[in-house]
Structure 1
């Protein structure tokens, strides 16, 4: 089982209760927030339920390391820096990302690390519609081009 990157691309106005609950469970309640989830049947059920509001794709180690370095927060205002990683025995975000990709660690194992990343709107804007699914020429749902979009949002 691998890891998936989930990004919320819509707010929660006029959203059904089941979808709102699914977004809360995945911890992507705000627009342009992202999180890392495991690729298992229960998570895929949550993603299927909220497919009109989120985009997801398989995660690679380089993107996870850059997310942790640029957008990882230990508290509301303090960024994830080398001190917290050294206390846990890691040399840097690349080592933490590789341990997470191997399944040895989770985001919750890092003491105080927020389990989501607040992203900004993509530089250069969205090239396709944010209201359509990927198969229909949009960005929502299972989207193999999501890592490229997230790099512009970091």
Structure 2
């Protein structure tokens, strides 16, 4: 099963309660938060419902590894390290990334790892037309496909 990453790029001021609840269920509580999810019909429909508030697309292995190393956190707001993965899961960091990417393990199954990532605003801004237009029409929100990895690397 393919993994997608969803990044919240807009605030919810003047948004309907239904939109706020969906963002809450996706664990996107603040701007520039990101979550990694399985690409199932129910998840994709939830993401499409809140599409004007998020950017999303398919993540690749290299970007996933970089995201976990740079922005992964454990309980107590400590960095996720290779030593922690070796101690807790008895596997190397590369094996962990591979199993996570192939959906053999889930972020929620691992104790003490936070299921969301706090990112910084992208270097150079969102460029193009900004966050009020979708990606197809020159903006920043919506479905990026594989191009989400470019945006994500600018936010690490």
The two structures have a TM-score, normalised by structure 2, of 0.93
Rounded to whole Å, the distance in 1 between the matches of 2:22 and 2:6 is 12
Alpha-carbon RMSD across the aligned residues, in angstroms, is 1.1
Write the mapping of 1:1-12 to structure 2, written as runs, cut at 5 A.
1-12=1-12
Identify the residue that residue 53 of structure 2 maps to in structure 1. Answer: 53
The residue aligned with 1:104 is: 104
| 5+ residue gaps, structure 2 | none
Which residues in structure 2 correspond to 1:30-41 (within 5 Å)? Answer: 30-41=30-41
Aligned pairs for 1:71-150 (under 5 A) are 71-87=71-87, 88-92=89-93, 94-128=94-128, 129-144=130-145, 145-150=147-152
Cα displacement (A) at 1:76 = 4.2
Which is worse superposed, 79-88 or 34-43?
79-88
State the partner residue of 2:154: 152
Separation (CA, whole Å) in 1 of partners of 2:155 and 2:72: 14
Gaps of 5+ in 1: none
Aligned to 2:22: 22
**Between 20-29 and 112-121, the greater mean CA deviation after superposition:** 20-29
- Report how far residue 100 of structure 1 moved: 1.0
Whole-angstrom CA distance in 2 between matches of 1:79 and 1:108? 17
Structure 1 ranges of 4+ moved more than 2 A: none
Cα distance in 1 for residues equivalent to 2:135 and 2:76: 33
TM-aligned CA deviation for residue 91 of structure 1: 1.3
The 2-side partners of 1:89 and 1:115 are apart by: 20
TM-score, length of structure 1 as denominator length = 0.94
Task: Work out whether residues 7 and 54 of structure 2, in 8 Å CA contact, stay in contact via their aligned partners in 1.
Answer: yes
Q: Does 1:66 align with 2:66?
A: yes
8 Å Cα contact 2:59-2:148 kept in structure 1: no
Task: Give distance in 1, aligned partners of 2:141 and 2:40.
Answer: 20
